[in-house]
Structure 1
């Protein structure tokens, strides 16, 4: 449970608007199923378990955009954040 709360805190901090961090409408990815997410972004660069959630990491610093997505046990996007100069603001 501590890891899940820590991951949600990380997403909250990353979604704040500041230098180099793009803030998006929350409706863009929230609730999207994992198959639609894979169609949109492909294979994640890495993944790790965060308590009840699976954290998927897309992009890289070299590409100029990182996207972190939390997927719940029902395989739906529960939270996400992005950062980098190349991330599109929506």
Structure 2
């Protein structure tokens, strides 16, 4: 998740459903926490390495959505869609080499 999802309520929603998350705290939240003293709460756990890996995967999905047929789910059959995603992934890989 990104910083837009870092509200206290959203984190509580994820914890209530036992969903693991790595969300960086906004700078203003970090700045205001000491001012609230004991009511400021503890800083949320944040693993930089997990966030980097998530970001890599998210960027890959965004590149795949550059192919119109994949972004709009043009292929209705699951096997055809999987083939299109595989072909698009290969083309992205070939461009990067």
Q: TM-score, normalization: structure 1?
A: 0.23
Higher RCO structure (Cα 8 Å, ≥6 apart): 1
Larger Rg: 2
Which protein has the bigger strand share? 1
Which protein has the bigger helix share? 2
